[in-house]
Amino acid sequence: MGKLAQTSVKYLITAEFEAEGTVEKPDVIGALFGQSEGLLGHELDLRELQRTGRIGRIDVDVITSKGKSKGKITIPSSLDSTETALIAATIETIERVGPCDAKLYCKSIEDIRAVKRKQIIDRSKILLRELMKDVPEISTLAEELMESVRSADITNYKGNPAGPDVETGDSIIVCEGRADVLVLLKHGIKNAIAIGGTGVPPVIAQLTKSKETTAFLDGDRGGDLIFKELVQVGEIDFMARAPFGKEVEELTKKEIFKALREKVPAEQAVDLAPIRGKGKTKGKTFDRRAKKPVDNVTTVRIISSSKKSSDTRDKKPSRDRPEKSRDRPSRAVSAAAATKKDDLSKDQKKVYAEQLNELIGTHAASIYDKKNNFAGRVPVKNLESALKQVAEPLTVIVDGEVDKKLCKIVEDAGAENIIATKVKDKVGKVNVFIQENL
């Protein structure tokens, strides 16, 4: 009867041997089967276990040097943990390999399922991170939904694009084109109507006579010409303009509402129409805060209060910066002058290893202080600013690679240790430990 294929591997036995002479792979395998035969009964005999597929293919690597041989043996097992441990202990009873005296000892029994579980967790983190990239935020979905609803609200008032409230409302906003009506609908303004060209349709001219009308026009010469025509053929109450050089459809929500708040009465806007934001008026300009015309005033650029305040701050001598610049180097020097610990305690290694496993796949860093208390977790890009807020940082645990920049940030902050998955560069006096050393 032939051998059955091994269905699954639960454990992997790794053993090493040394022989007082030259031996080859068949000698080692023969010793395993021959000298273990009958020790644990028929059910746990190596030949029987391999025939039934509960023990897999035995691999042997042999190295011969200076008349002696040594090597490694790997045995995959589908048995339970107790039976696998018995097999591992059994092969240690072998005393000869071929014609030579030999010593064989079990180095480890590895749980393959634990390795697979770790691989599953690591891979699931990557897949979840990729999945989360494609999940839009609720606010984005809500905004898209509202925009589609508002766009669907656009109607046609006697051949002209308009919002749903144009016919029923007490006031209207006259715009230049369909795109302007859409952008106003997007931001909740439903009483806009579009001219649709340079000529004002009679239906809109008639509508302006029965409703309070605001002309909301582009900030260019075309807007000036349309406003002149609207004043001639209709009854315009107010005029609002986009900023100079911009069109209404290009404005943000904030700019739209600002322009509408700053609308001016139509009779006063007539004097402003030809000049649009630069040069001098023909004798009058409009002070929007006073809501009245002011004679013979030249328009000037107003410097914002934020600009003034920043200029004033630049002129004032700084009282805080020198102390901060002196404090930081002194902290780094004190850390460098302290007694450097080249190793970590057993408890520290355990805590740091658990923390590093939690960080894998998060692109974050954890900070511990000199009392080994957890100080916090931050994204790696915010590590430098976070370290400045920790009184006595000791150890930084990073999901990522150690490089010169990271070493400098940690050392300048006064910390002593970096725990990471791998190392690219190491500079300075900071201690670097990788995952394999914990």
Averaged pLDDT, 426-431? 86
pLDDT at residue number 397: 94
Confidence of residue 324 (pLDDT cuts 50, 70, 90): very low
Domain count, the chain: 3
Is the pLDDT higher at 199 or at 61?
61
Q: Which residues of 82-99 are buried (b: 16+ CB within 10 A; e: fewer)?
A: ebbbebbebbeebebbbe
- Map tokens 């656009």 to a residue: 154
What is the mean predicted confidence (pLDDT) over 276-282? 38
CA distance 401 to 380: 11
Residue 291 included in any domain: yes
Helix (H) / strand (E) element for 21: namely none
Does the pLDDT at position 20 exceed 50? yes
pLDDT at 86: 93
Give yes or no: residues 163 and 289 share one domain.
yes
pLDDT, the chain, mean: 78
Q: For position 436, what pLDDT does the model report?
A: 77
| 88-97, 146-155, 174-183, 395-404: segment of lowest average pLDDT | 146-155
Q: What is the CATH number of the domain that holds 88?
A: 3.30.70.2690
Where residue 344 sits, what CATH number does that domain have? Answer: 3.40.140.20
pLDDT range class, residue 73, cuts 50, 70, 90: very high
Domain-embedded: residue 136: no
Please tell me whether residues 185 and 282 are part of one structural domain. yes
Sign of the CA dihedral 311, 254, 169, 226? positive
Q: Are residues 212 and 251 in the same domain?
A: yes
Instruction: Identify the CATH number of the domain in which residue 211 sits.
Output: 3.40.1360.10
Q: What are the residues whose beta carbons fall under 8 Å from the beta carbon of 354, sequence distance 6 or more? A: none
pLDDT value at position 182?
87
Return the H-helix or E-strand segment holding 375. Answer: strand 374-379
Greater confidence, 302 or 231? 231
More confident residue, 136 or 212: 212
How many other CB atoms are there within 10 angstroms of residue 17's CB atom? 23
Q: Does residue 181 surpass a pLDDT of 80?
A: yes
Q: What pLDDT is stored for residue 151 in this prediction?
A: 59
Question: What pLDDT score was predicted for residue 426?
Answer: 82
Instruction: Indicate the residue among 295, 313, 331 that finishes a domain.
Output: 295
pLDDT at 152: 58
User: How confident is residue 4, by pLDDT bands cut at 50, 70 and 90?
Assistant: low
Tell whether 158 and 261 lie within a shared domain. Answer: yes
Containing domain of residue 258, as a range?
141-295
Predicted confidence (pLDDT) at residue 343 exceeds the cutoff of 80: no
Average pLDDT over residues 179-189: 87
Q: Is residue 151 part of a domain?
A: yes
Residue 302 pLDDT exceeds 70:
no
Residue 3 lies in a domain: no
Residue 221 has what pLDDT? 83
Do 266 and 191 share a structural domain?
A: yes
Which whole number is the average pLDDT over 91-119? 89
What distance in Å separates the CA atoms of residue 216 and residue 197, rounded to the nearest whole number? Answer: 14
